[in-house]
Amino acid sequence: MTAVVRLDDPYVDTLVREALAAQCPSLAIVSEWPPQDHDGDAPPLLQWREYEQVDWDMVSRHPECSLANTYCIRKALIRKIQMANAFQYYCAKRPGCTLARHVPETWIFRLDHPSYLDEALNECWEVERGFRNNLACDDPRERERFIMKPSMTGRGAGIYLLESLADMEQVLEALFEDSDDDDEDDDDDDDDGEQGSAWMLREWVIQRYIGRPLLLANDPRKFHIRAYVLSVGRMHVYLYREMLALFAGADYDAADIAALDRHLTNTCLQQHARDFDESRAVRAFWDLASHGLDRPALDGIFDQCARILGDCFAAVTSDAVGFQALPNAFELYGFDFLVDDARHVWLLEANAFPDFAQTGEQLRGLVRGLFEATVGVAVCPFVAAVEHGTPPPSTPPSDPRLRLVYDRSTSHT
């Protein structure tokens, strides 16, 4: 039996191979498929590859003996606009649900050209009203702020913090000027590759900015929580207990929205800075107990994350077009949460194929534990079932490092 493992990030590729070799010794691990000495039509038992490299025809034709490390269709979770739509539909039917209380107010914003801005804002008039209210607010810390994110980018790219219509106009003019230049460059190319960046910049989500984040007693920097989440089959969903706290590059100041390093906590935005210090940028979540948060507070935050995730997957899996769970697939996601000064947790976004390398070398063992748990829960039972010619178990085995947050077979939502 063969496992095809090939991931772009050596940090992740190595950890995956180590976990498979330790727990599934019967698997022959290769980087390419088919290998040169392959004879016959038998598929690899496991594909652990980048999304674009997965052979979906093989996965669909051999559901009993071919496992993939990602679902084919899950845009309702990882595309910001589709996620916002799924949440809105779900919460409209369940006004008091957990999700309704733990997702910032969100608007979908589409714009073909800055000259149509007035019409586009009709679809999110609350944002325009907030801009108008800010004109009469002298204290910048009391103004309504909004954060604008492109629907299809990640790692902090293209994020803007806005408090006025002038802010938005300035951002959009610059974006569309750049994208028009890219389109002209694309027109000069003869190949049929992906469209230029202009098409990446016509859809955004706008969220109400959480302006009072929880700050530690001995560290005035804003931070967010990165949680790793495993979904298995169709489906059981688990929250990895070892979460991360990712810190901004500068002390938080609500009045200074021009300095994004005070507000954006994406580690990938800081890594190239000359004074970047990994030990200050990334900390283990449970280690925050030594920075002013007691264990009951941390337990409460973790429990909120778990409840939010349960509702999140109930919402996105109810969208049969946007999320199609497969019995012979699993996937790891990175979820971002923000805690406000009332210790209320807010779900910000979800990412497929998260950047594990941002965890850094100091906390490499944390990521190693995640892949070990993933192999034990998602891969080993499938391997054993193929070896014995039996169906995989309907319920994956438990692992103390993983907390079950959603079981579709018992969910009535």
Q: Which of 165, 189, 209 is the last residue of a domain?
A: 209
* Residues 203 and 222 grouped into a single domain: no
For residue 77, being part of any structural domain is answered with: no
The per-residue pLDDT for range 257-296, each reduced to its tens digit, is 888 889 988 766 555 556 666 778 899 999 999 888 999 9
pLDDT score recorded for residue 382: 96
Residue 346 and residue 329 in one domain: yes
Token couple for 24: 């599934």
Residues 205, 225 within the same domain: no
Same domain, 238 and 384: yes
Residue 276 has what pLDDT?
Answer: 61
Residue 396 is assigned to a structural domain of this protein: yes
Residues 63-73: tens digit of each pLDDT:
999 999 999 99
How wide is the angle at C-alpha 163 spanned by C-alphas 141 and 132, nearest 5°?
100
**Window from 46-55, 171-180, 325-334, 400-409 with minimum mean pLDDT:** 171-180
Higher pLDDT, 268 or 377: 377
User: Is 306 found in the same domain as 376?
Assistant: yes
- The answer to pTM > 0.85 is yes
Verify that 204 and 237 share a domain, yes or no: no
In the predicted structure, residue 300 carries a pLDDT above the cut 60: yes
Residue 100 placed within a domain: no
- Same domain for 59 and 152, yes or no, is no
Please tell me whether residues 60 and 16 are part of one structural domain: yes
* 228 lies in the same domain as 157: no
pLDDT of residue 113: 87
CATH code of the domain containing 149: 3.30.1490
Confidence of residue 188 (pLDDT cuts 50, 70, 90): very low
What pLDDT shows up at residue 362? 85
Confidence of residue 182 (pLDDT cuts 50, 70, 90): low
**What pLDDT does residue 190 have?**
42
pLDDT at 177: 81
Pick the residue with more confidence: 189 or 270?
270
- Mean pLDDT on 373-386: 96
**One domain for residues 55 and 176:** no
Number of domains in the chain: 3
pLDDT 10s digits, 235-253:
999 999 999 999 998 999 9
pLDDT band at residue 36, thresholds of 50, 70 and 90? low
Q: Give the C-alpha distances (Å, rounded to integers) separating 376 from 37, 50, 380.
A: 29, 21, 5
Is the domain of 201 the same as that of 234?
no
Name the average pLDDT for the chain: 89
Same domain, 335 and 218: yes
Answer yes or no: is 162 within a domain.
yes
Q: What is the pLDDT of residue 252?
A: 95
Query: Does residue 341 lie in a domain region?
Result: yes
The mean per-residue pLDDT over the stretch 192-211 comes to 68
> pLDDT category, 191, cuts 50, 70, 90?
very low
Domain boundary among 189, 209, 229: 209
Residue 358 has which token pair?
A: 């941002």
Distances (CA, A) of 326 to 89, 309, 313: 23, 19, 14
Domain that holds residue 133: 105-181+197-209
Binned at pLDDT 50, 70 and 90, residue 39 comes out as: low
pLDDT at 137: 93
By percentage, how much of the chain surpasses pLDDT 90? 72
User: What pLDDT is attached to residue 48?
Assistant: 97
Which of these three, 68, 89, 114, is where a domain ends?
A: 68
75 is a domain residue:
no
Q: Residue 121: inside a domain, yes or no?
A: yes
- At 141 the pLDDT is 86
Strands, sheet with 160-162, edge to edge from the N-terminal-most edge strand: 106-110, 203-208, 146-150, 160-162
Over residues 336-361, mean pLDDT: 92
Answer whether residue 288 is part of any domain: yes
pLDDT in tens, 115-171: 899 999 999 999 999 999 999 999 988 999 999 998 776 555 678 999 999 999 999
CA nearest neighbour of 102 among 254, 315, 311, 404:
311
CATH code for the domain of 265:
3.30.470.20
- What does the pLDDT read at residue 156? 59
